[in-house]
Structure 1
Amino acid sequence: MGQERTGTAGRFDAAVTGVGMVTAAGIGTAASWERIRLGAGTQATAVPALADIPADFACAVTGFDATAELGARQAWRFDRSTQLALVAAAEAVADSGLDPATWDGRRVGVVLGNGIGGAETWEKQHRKLLDAGPRRVSPRLIPMLSVNMTAGYVSMAYGARGPSLVTATACASGTTAIGTARDLLRSGACDVVITGGAEAPLTPSLVCGFSQMGALSRRRDDITAASRPFDADRDGFVPAEGAAVLILERAEDARARGARIRAMVSGYGSSADAYHATAPDPEYVGAELALRAALRDAGIGPDEVDHVNAHGTATVINDATEARMIRGVLGDRPLVTSVKGVVGHSLAASGAIEAVTSVLTLEESFVPPTANLETLDPEIELDVVAKEGRETPVEVVVSNSFGFGGQNAVLLLTRA
């Protein structure tokens, strides 16, 4: 490990000791990271359930077999969003080297981001109600669709009897969850926190809603190039499902047990735009507040940031606004990338996926490329990594997440 930074008197480093991912790029962290690292193009497929919607493709997790992953006796009990979360959590817990059979569950918390809950369950059961009547609706409808149950079922799986929370800050939810988890460690409420985010929003009504707003790419002729963050020809995001989980511990506790510390979560900031339901504040006041709060929390100066894992949705207004904010606070020094060119936009899970990607970037000193970036928008005055990733020393990473309702959340991660 490198030399520990002292930062400010209030500096608190939460150690990341385990990670897990399930994305359209692959089931498992290694598989997902391989395609993200290559900038493999949008991992999108045509989705039959979306056939009547102008944007009828999405980044689904193909090949995911919940029965094989969770067992036939368990898989049927969960909505797909919870299934994804449980698989990502299993990988992260195993990666951490912790043994749930021996840990003190009273000191273990769960904080997961989820914005919509059991969307697939909701739509299927509503259709049963309309087609066959109330007697055919599942008695498990409520525990399968309720947004809190993503964390609830993970806590049950691991005997985690500490705080069990779901953060719902739209597309910032996963990042908000990780920041909240770090606060639980800092306050002494927990010794270990299972944190991250999960979402499975690829249902007709939800995708149709985003389509009607004009938020989605309609590049049906080449769906592998549909998500184009920061590109001059971007036309919207590609919806996705996925999950990512991190295991956080206090740094001193992780060192005491001889754990491999993969990175540190060293700063967190959140804010609200107080501006508009769906559009970002063009003056980016709220987003800047969150970024500056994360820098201050970590005791890190703007000129020390090496890399920004951007929210980078590939929508016209959001990318331009985020780029102006990054340049206004950090200048043009940091290398910038968005992984949504590969994995699409998984809403509440996106910030958690990007946090895991940031951990891997720090570990490998490798910034992945922004997939499908052919021509940088001339209004975006940043060093956006494209075509090929860059091997370069990376000590400090900022990970941005912004959501509807003007929700802003920023993490600052540092090398262990």
Structure 2
Amino acid sequence: MVVPRRRVVITGLGIISPLGIGPEATWSALREGRGGVSRLDAFPIDGLPSDAAGEVKDFSPKALAVDKHRKALQKNLKYMARDIQLAVAAAELAVVDGKLLDGQVDPARIGIDLGAGMISSDLDELAPAINLSTREDGSFDFETYGKAGIPEIEPLWMLKYLPNMLACHISILNDCRGPSNTITQGEAAANAAIGEAFRIIQRGQADVMITGGADSKIHPLSFIRMKLNGVNCRWEGEPSAACRPFDVRRCGVVPGEGAGILVVEELEHARRRGATIYGELIGFGSASDANPRGGLHPEGRGTELAIRAALRDAGLEPSQIGHINAHGWSTVEADLAEARAYTRLFGPGVPVVGLKGYTANTASGCGAIELIASLLATRHGLLPATLNCDELDPRIELDVVRGEPRTLVDPTFVNVNFNRYGQVAALAVRGGPVDDAS
């Protein structure tokens, strides 16, 4: 006998990004076409062509803590890097929105699956050990580092920078005793984590999952890595215009930070406890370009495979998609590859929006942040414009939403994200209330 797959709905939203804190601030900025990218404030930056960044301003994790978590969170903040703080605070918003604080859910049936990235260490925490172990000629003495350098480092230093600590802190605060995992796939991580949470509930291993992702690339080491990888933005104009998805003048990735955390759960479980339903996860697919030379395939083959898998999982044809929330990385090659995949799959007619012009590249958080944005768009019946796409690259044969927001009728969409190694994760989602016939 074939057992029907359990349906999975979204019942809680927590979002912190350069657009603001919470869904209302996010939607207000998107509706008004007001981006959050500006000149970098966190630290002085010299020697790079652009100082544009998507920073989260006026952020206080203690201020966002719920009463029952406040004491524990305040105690552990010193062991949380910026990425962890963003994730924990966004989870506080999500569990409140999802009504998970009143004891309705068995802790053994709540799990967590998060996307996370490489967390850069505060430079002053490692500087004494590095300086002690560096010879006069600039070479590094590993023996000295092992014997004398490491003792200079705070014993619990690593707890601030392990990617799995985002999920650890959230699960401890919320007594999540179900499945737990962390996925580190760069920009594909949040979608991959949401997809895995979706599967866990479908299989009956949990009734509720806290999922999404968080990251912060507002760090000197992140800027240096981007420069070494040759993907950093070279925009010399106003910083707010630096990130330009699909625009003919796009010139590289703008670093950002943020967190998107969702509560997802089995449909009947959500109905029994009277949860608000924002939409339904209906398909997931992942793939890889597997380009022998490294990087993305120029025709976006991995992107196409991932979306086909998500549509097949959802039982949908490409013509049944209302819009695409694209990765829109704002590099010449990546945007072209992505656009070619969409053109082959959907033709030129489906509306496409890329939101990184508003937030910059929030890396391991971008999938969840952009998914929440599309859920808000379906809720309000309005698709935001792609910020800074003033002149569409003539090689891109897509209906990119530009200029003004567009009325949105069909609530079904795909959310797509990939990293520079070609790993892709795609979600098919139907926004809004659900019915038994969906």
Give the TM-score normalised by structure 2.
Answer: 0.88
Q: What does 1:219-234 correspond to in 2, within 5 Å?
A: 219-234=235-250
Q: Distance in 2 between matches of 1:234 and 1:403?
A: 18
Q: Distance in 1 between matches of 2:417 and 2:316?
A: 19
Structure 1 residue 84: Cα displacement: 0.3
Structure 1 residue 10: Cα displacement: 6.3
What runs of 5+ residues in structure 1 fail to find an aligned partner?
Answer: 1-7
Q: What is the letter of the counterpart of residue 92 of structure 1?
A: A
Q: Cα gap change, 1:53/1:76 in structure 2, threshold over 3 Å: closer, same or farther?
A: farther
Q: Distance in 1 between matches of 2:125 and 2:61?
A: 19
Q: What does 1:34-53 correspond to in 2, within 5 Å?
A: 34-53=28-47
Q: Distance in 2 between matches of 1:276 and 1:381?
A: 27
What runs of 5+ residues in structure 2 fail to find an aligned partner?
Answer: 133-148, 434-438
CA contact (8 A) 1:111 1:178 kept: yes
Q: What does 1:3-402 correspond to in 2, within 5 Å?
A: 13-54=7-48, 55-70=50-65, 72-99=74-101, 101-116=103-118, 118-121=119-122, 123-131=123-131, 134-275=150-291, 279-402=295-418
Q: Distance in 2 between matches of 1:259 and 1:48?
A: 39
Structure 1 residue 131: Cα displacement: 4.9
Bigger Rg over Cα: 2
Q: Distance in 2 between matches of 1:141 and 1:398?
A: 39
Identity level (%): 35
Q: Distance in 1 between matches of 2:172 and 2:293?
A: 35
After superposition, the C-alpha distances for 1:238-276 in whole angstroms (9 at most, x for unaligned) are 110100001000112112222211111111000111115
Question: Which stretch has the larger CA shift, 219-228 or 69-78?
Answer: 69-78
After superposing on structure 2, the runs of 4+ consecutive aligned residues of structure 1 that deviate more than 6 Å are 8-11
CA contact (8 A) 1:13 1:251 kept: yes
Q: Distance in 1 between matches of 2:260 and 2:105?
A: 22
SS at match of 1:411: strand
Q: What is the letter of the counterpart of residue 388 of structure 2?
A: N
Q: Cα gap change, 1:29/1:278 in structure 2, threshold over 3 Å: closer, same or farther?
A: farther
Q: Distance in 2 between matches of 1:339 and 1:139?
A: 40
Structure 1 residue 387: Cα displacement: 1.4
CA contact (8 A) 1:230 1:380 kept: yes
Q: Cα gap change, 1:278/1:94 in structure 2, threshold over 3 Å: closer, same or farther?
A: farther
Give the TM-score normalised by structure 1.
Answer: 0.93
CA contact (8 A) 1:50 1:57 kept: no
Structure 1 residue 368: Cα displacement: 0.7
Q: How many residues get paired?
A: 407
Q: Distance in 1 between matches of 2:94 and 2:88?
A: 10
Structure 1 residue 214: Cα displacement: 2.5
Q: Cα gap change, 1:365/1:318 in structure 2, threshold over 3 Å: closer, same or farther?
A: same
After superposition, the C-alpha distances for 1:216-255 in whole angstroms (9 at most, x for unaligned) are 2122431000000010111012110100001000112112
SS at match of 1:19: strand
Structure 1 residue 360: Cα displacement: 1.1
SS at match of 2:79: coil
Q: What is the letter of the counterpart of residue 98 of structure 1?
A: L
Q: Distance in 2 between matches of 1:115 and 1:18?
A: 23
CA contact (8 A) 1:40 1:342 kept: yes
Structure 1 residue 50: Cα displacement: 5.0
- RMSD over aligned Cα, in angstroms? 2.0
Q: Cα gap change, 1:286/1:263 in structure 2, threshold over 3 Å: closer, same or farther?
A: same
